[in-house]
Structures are given as structure tokens and as C-alpha cells.
Amino acid sequence: MSLMADTLTIAAVSAGLFFFLAGTVGLLRFPDTLTRLHALTKADNLGFGLIVLGLLPQSPDVASGLKLVVVWLLVQLAGASASQLIAQFASKGGPSA
């Protein structure tokens, strides 16, 4: 059981790290603001979600596990809203700045 939990942790956290890598590479390499924003959401959504998924089997008690899920939901909400707001800012206010 513990072995299975550990395997899941390693797999999911590594996958999460990979998406953070994808997000960072995109943020650095993509040619314009909106595509870079697209890359950033990879890190926010998939990377963070997979890391939380991987950490869940390791959480010592139910309360900590629930808090992990709440953190993930908040990051989802913040990531989605922030990318919308940054996109609006970039399209309406960007060139003048």
C-alpha cells in the first residue's frame, strides 16, 4: 500500500514538475505576450494540480489533505482569473504602456 502511494507520489509530482518546466520554457521562449500567458497557465493548472495530487497520499491527516485540495482549488481560481485579467490588460492597455 505504502509502495503504491509512494509510486503515485513520485509519478504525479514528477509529472507536475514537467508541466512547470513546460510553463517556464514557454514563458521564456514564446514570441508574444498572449502565447506566453498560454504557457503560464500550464504551470498553474496542470503542474500545481499534479503536485497536489502527488502529495495527497503523503498527507499525515485528513485535515491537511483537505487543505491541500483547497489550496489547489484556490490556485485554479486565481490562475484562471489572473490570466483573463492579464490578457485584458495586455490587449487593451499593453501597447500604450
Partner 1 sequence: MSLLPDFALMLLILIAAVWTVSARDRRDSVIGFIVVGLLLSLAWIRLNSVDVALTEAAVGGGATGLLLLRACARLGPNETEGVSLKVSLRILTGVLCTVVAVALATIVLYPIEPAPTLAPTAAAHMGEIGLGNPVTVVLLAYRAIDTLLEKVVLVLALIGVWALTPDPLWGGAPGSLRAQHSSGPLTFLAQVLPPVGIVIGVYLIWNGADRPGGTFQGGTVLAAMWLLVMMADLREPPEIRLHTLRRLVVLGPVVFLVAGFAGFWIANGFLSYPPDLAKPIIVLVEAALALSIAVILGMLVAGPAARAPR
Partner 2 sequence: MAEFLYVTAALLLLLTGLGLARMLWGPSPADRMMAAQLVGTGGGAIALLIATASGATAMIDVALVLALLAAFAAVALSLGEPGTQQRDGGANS
Binding residues (CB under 8 A) for partner 2: these are 6, 9-10, 13-14, 16-17, 20-21, 23-24, 27-28, 33, 36-37, 40, 43-44, 47-48, 51-52, 55, 58-61, 64, 67-68, 70-72, 74-75, 77-79, 81-83, 85-90, 93-94, 96-97
The Cα–Cα gap between 27 and 43 comes to: 10
The Cα–Cα gap between 75 and 87 comes to: 18
Cβ atoms of 47 and 20 within 8 Å: the answer is yes
Give the nearer residue to partner 1 in terms of CB position, either 11 or 78: 78
The Cα–Cα gap between 42 and 19 comes to: 6
CB 71 to partner 1: min, Å: 10
